[in-house]
Chains A and B, each alone.
Chain A
Amino acid sequence: MGAPQERSAGGTVTQAGPPTSTYLSMTQRSPQARFDHRLVLGSSRRGIQRAQRSLISAAQQRGYDHASCFALRLALEEALTNAILHGNRNNPRKKVTVRYRVDSGRVVIEIEDQGEGFDPQAVPDPTRPENVEIPAGRGIVLMRAYMTEVEFTAPGNRVRMTYVRPTVRG
């Protein structure tokens, strides 16, 4: 099958799993971004679906195509699953806050859970041959492949994902 190798959905060549300890990095502080949508979700599947509907509908209204919506939906799915499962540990009393902004050229999504955070550099790279049969850990790989930029903020309970629309990529 002639599918592309390690190519992001938007056309940028990415490292889908660099085998070094700098595989994921974390910043101390993200610059402020202005968001025009904010959702507070419980730790449930219904919340994920609500956020997906909201984001995809906003993206479609801005004319984002099927490939872009596929990328956004998948990245949001993975980030929210991580937030609920690993961040909030399925605690029904804890919330996940999703903020996003959809412009004609880019989408910025920020997800914050109420967990203790984690060190992204400590996550084993699931694409390495010795890890390929382990049935977990692929969410962050997919987020990084499908988004233009993925940035975790210390202590690791907040992630910001930026998706630059392919047609306006310079």
Chain B
Amino acid sequence: MAAAESLLRVAEEDGITRIEFVDRNILDEANIQQIGEEITRLVDETPQPKVLISFQNVDHLSSAALGTLITINNKIRSKDGQLRLANIDPRIYEVFVITKLNRLFQIHDSEDQALASFT
């Protein structure tokens, strides 16, 4: 099957799925949809998913991307899993604060802190 090129870098270690975005901008609707589908597939494959999403390379995002993250979070929680976000640029973090999503997501300064927070 000729799949579109992945927009994610994914690594599995100690039962934790670590995800990084390839693009710096998470704005484009089509890209966001593909990112959502790719992550959903990963979550579907795992009985009790533990997912860490790193925002290391991200310098723009939009409300559409926030919507996808919420959907992913709901899905992971419905499977009794855990989602952590890490390495968010202060300007991007402000978008989470304005939308009060910093209260919904577990956000950590570094990936190490996020990894240590899984139970």
Contacts and interface: CB of A to CB of B under 8 A. Distances in A.
Nearest to B91: A70
Interface string A3-43: 11111110000001100000000000000000000000000
A5 B63 CA distance: 18
Interface string B89-119: 0110111111111111001010000000000
Contacts, number: 80
Interface residues of A, number: 32
A139 B95 CA distance: 11
B74 interface: yes
Interface string A125-157: 011000011111111011001100000000000
Contacts of A45: 28-30
Contacts of B28: 45
Interface in A34-92: 45, 67, 70, 73-74, 77-78, 81
Contact of A133 (B30, B70, B91, B109): B70
Contact of A142 (B63, B74, B102): B63
Contact of A3 (B64, B97, B100): B97
A139 B63 contact: yes
Contacts of B101: 132
Nearest to B61: A74
The interface size bin for chain B is 20 to 34
A16 B103 contact: no
A1 to B, nearest CB: 6
A132 B104 contact: yes
Nearest to A127: B100
A13 B64 CA distance: 24
A74 B29 contact: no
B60 A127 contact: no
B62 interface: yes
A93 to B, nearest CB: 19
Nearest to A71: B91
Given A45-B29, A78-B62, A78-B63, A138 B97 contact: no
Nearest to B68: A135
Given A77-B27, A78-B62, A126 B99 contact: yes
20 contacts: A1-B88, A1-B90, A1-B109, A3-B93, A4-B97, A7-B97, A8-B98, A17-B100, A74-B60, A132-B100, A132-B104, A133-B74, A134-B70, A135-B67, A138-B63, A138-B66, A138-B99, A142-B62, A142-B98, A146-B98
Interface of B: 27-30, 60, 62-64, 66-68, 70-71, 73-74, 88, 90-91, 93-104, 107, 109
